[in-house]
Amino acid sequence: MKGKLYGVGVGPGDPELITIKAKRIMESAQCIAVPKTSEGKESLALSIARDTVRMNGEIMELVFPMTPDAAILAASWDNAANAICRKLDGGLDVAFLTLGDPTVYSTYAYIHNAVEKMGYEALIIPGIPSFCACAARAGVSLGENNEKIAVIPYAYEPDVLSEVMEKFDSVVLMKVSGNLEKVREILAVKWPGAEIALVSRCGLPGERIYRSLGQVGDGETGYFSTMIIKKGGAA
């Protein structure tokens, strides 16, 4: 009998934000697939789960380089999917660990589709997405009543913020650190009454929470930075 693939969300950083189900699946899987960006580095998803979850399966490291080169990316996904399918063929259940939630900007989406297409069963175990954890840490609400929420990966099209703010009450900017100056500019000109919460390394060592853009020094926040903007203030 073939094994099953589980895409398991380990949440944004705090090991206690792992769900009971994610813990159970990771503890019973015979193979733990862990994504990393390069050979030498430790997998962040694995390091979050390691002390809280008693994993018994063999660890299979999968390298997904951080590159804009579509061919290199596609090759890394194919390699990973094939490696996983060989384990499934051997009857092993595979838990693929992923930061946050597997359906929110995760490499797992590609693996899921590829493995399913090859005829295997693949299931998604949700995790706390980073933006919910950031909102919680900052004590702000993402949406109430009839408020509309936009989630924007903010490394691609920074000008879009202005237009999105017209229609949405709350805007979540993922991976915002490279474009803080742009946010500052758009808010100052058009939305001076907006309130922000910026959380860097939420639930990880070195976590920082900012409630004003004036507090943020250049280069102070890193890759794992999420901003929540409440148009009407009262964030």
Q: How far apart are CA 79 and CA 70, in angstroms?
A: 14
195-200 and 208-210 strand pairing = antiparallel
Q: How far apart are CA 42 and CA 19, in angstroms?
A: 22
Residue 206 amino acid letter: G
Q: How far apart are CA 133 and CA 128, in angstroms?
A: 7
- Per-residue burial over 12-31, b if 16 or more Cβ lie within 10 Å, else e, is bbbbebbbeebbebbeebeb
Q: Is 24 an interacting residue with respect to its own copies (CB under 8 A)?
A: yes
Q: Is 78 an interacting residue with respect to its own copies (CB under 8 A)?
A: no
For residues 36 and 77, which CB has a smaller minimum distance to its own copies in the complex?
77
Give the one residue of 3, 11, 35, 57 binding its own copies; rule: CB under 8 A. 11
Q: Which residue has the tokens 């929470």?
A: 209
SS3 (DSSP) at 232? coil
Q: Is 47 an interacting residue with respect to its own copies (CB under 8 A)?
A: no
**Among 21-29, 33-41, 183-191, 216-224, which window interacts with its own copies (CB under 8 A)?**
21-29
Query: Angle formed by the axes of helices 70-89 and 108-117, to 10°?
Result: 50
For residues 74 and 188, which CB has a smaller minimum distance to its own copies in the complex?
74
For residues 90 and 113, which CB has a smaller minimum distance to its own copies in the complex?
113
Cβ 175 to its own copies shortest distance, Å? 11
Q: Is 81 an interacting residue with respect to its own copies (CB under 8 A)?
A: no
Q: Is 151 an interacting residue with respect to its own copies (CB under 8 A)?
A: yes
Query: Angle formed by the axes of helices 160-167 and 180-190, to 10°?
Result: 50
Site for its own copies in 88-147 (CB under 8 A): 101-106, 109-110, 112, 116, 122-129, 132-133, 135-137, 139-147
**Among 42-50, 55-63, 84-92, 156-164, which window interacts with its own copies (CB under 8 A)?**
156-164
The separation between CA 11 and the C-alpha centre of its own chain, rounded to angstroms, equals 8
SS3 (DSSP) at 5? strand
The count of residues interacting with its own copies (CB under 8 A) is: 59
Q: Is 178 an interacting residue with respect to its own copies (CB under 8 A)?
A: no
Give the binding site for its own copies (CB under 8 A). 9, 11, 14-21, 23-24, 52, 101-106, 109-110, 112, 116, 122-129, 132-133, 135-137, 139-153, 155-157, 160, 163-164, 167-168
